[in-house]
Amino acid sequence: MATRLPSLNGLRAFEAAARHMSFTQAAGELNVTQTAISHLIRRLEQEIGVKLFVRQNRGLALTAEGRDYLPGVRNAFQDLRLATDRLLRKDDGRVLTVSTLASLAAKWLLPRIASFQEKHKEIDVRITTTTDLVNFQRDEIDAAIRYGRGQWAELHADWLMADELFPVCSPALLDGKHPLREPKDLANHTLLHTSGGFSDDWRQWLTAAGLPPGLSTHGVTFDVSLVTVQAAIDGHGVAIGRTSYVEADIEKGRLVVPFKISLPADAGFYLVYPAERAATQKLKVFREWLVAAARREAGR
């Protein structure tokens, strides 16, 4: 037999009072009197047959049972808030939220997104950056641009583009104290690395160039490609560039490619989203625009 749920008002009073450790502040949040909060909590304690608070001279304290009960109550209210938010936003065809990596957003997506906005003024694009995997139900994300091999469980993946790997540096390093003429000259320079999924880039390139892969163990490591690229622009060393992250800086002369050896990356960028969202108009037009933009870049 299912246990009867206690009073929702009592649970709200308990959660608010436990969060503030104050009946007065809980009353202010819920727009009732302190007496009402006290009455609701007393009735809740009677309903469940458990004492939740200890009234002390200088404030409140939760009982052991109250401390055990609070996380479940708090999570339940949070789930209700999220469910309500999803209900109210699910038909919002005006806002498109796209998750991507910070470096790709800054170096590739943002310089191009204005052309999408010009064509689709009815859609507001929100870009959120993270390296974490997206939970499409919890995070209210419509689509994500991710780097990988196109294999994400229960998600549709549209191929966008591949990268090539090659060293890049500031033009000032080419003819500096230790000129960069051929790959072996890298031994005299600081190698700039990016951790995470790009941590093996230098080793792969050095192997292809016929250099000891042990060189890749030296240098400075950053956790975001955007910072690694900026360090190269500022002349702090030589970085492994990925096409999508460095092409704009090469075109503008902030970076140069000192050697002709490049490697195809073993993965690429995809637009991923739950299959059931593919039919939404806002995602459909964004997908068409993004795939076309990626193909134009590949053609160049």
Question: By residue range, what is the domain housing residue 250?
Answer: 163-265
Let me know whether 172 and 258 are in one domain.
yes
Distances (CA, A) of 7 to 32, 47, 67, 229: 16, 8, 19, 57
pLDDT at position 215: 81
Whether residue 3 lies inside any domain: the answer is no
pLDDT single digits (tens) 14-35: 999 988 888 988 898 889 999 9
Whether residue 1 lies inside any domain: the answer is no
* Euclidean distance between CA atoms 10 and 164, whole angstroms: 60
Beta pairing class for 124-129 and 191-194: unpaired
Threshold 0.75, pTM exceeds: no
Let me know whether 184 and 141 are in one domain.
no
pLDDT at position 140: 79
CA-closest candidate to residue 280, choices 156, 161, 150, 132: 156
Whether residue 175 lies inside any domain: the answer is yes
Q: Structural domain tally of the chain?
A: 3
| Banded model confidence at residue 175, pLDDT cuts 50, 70, 90 | confident
The CATH number linked to 108 is 3.40.190.10
pLDDT at position 86: 61
pLDDT at position 94: 82
pLDDT at position 2: 47
Let me know whether 152 and 293 are in one domain.
yes
Let me know whether 203 and 273 are in one domain.
no
CB atoms within 10 A of CB 27: 21
pLDDT single digits (tens) 262-283: 988 778 899 999 888 888 889 9
pLDDT at position 1: 42
Whether residue 119 lies inside any domain: the answer is yes
Higher pLDDT, 40 or 163: 40
Let me know whether 100 and 55 are in one domain.
no
CA-closest candidate to residue 95, choices 142, 145, 26: 142
Let me know whether 158 and 272 are in one domain.
yes
Let me know whether 156 and 293 are in one domain.
yes
The CATH number linked to 34 is 1.10.10.10
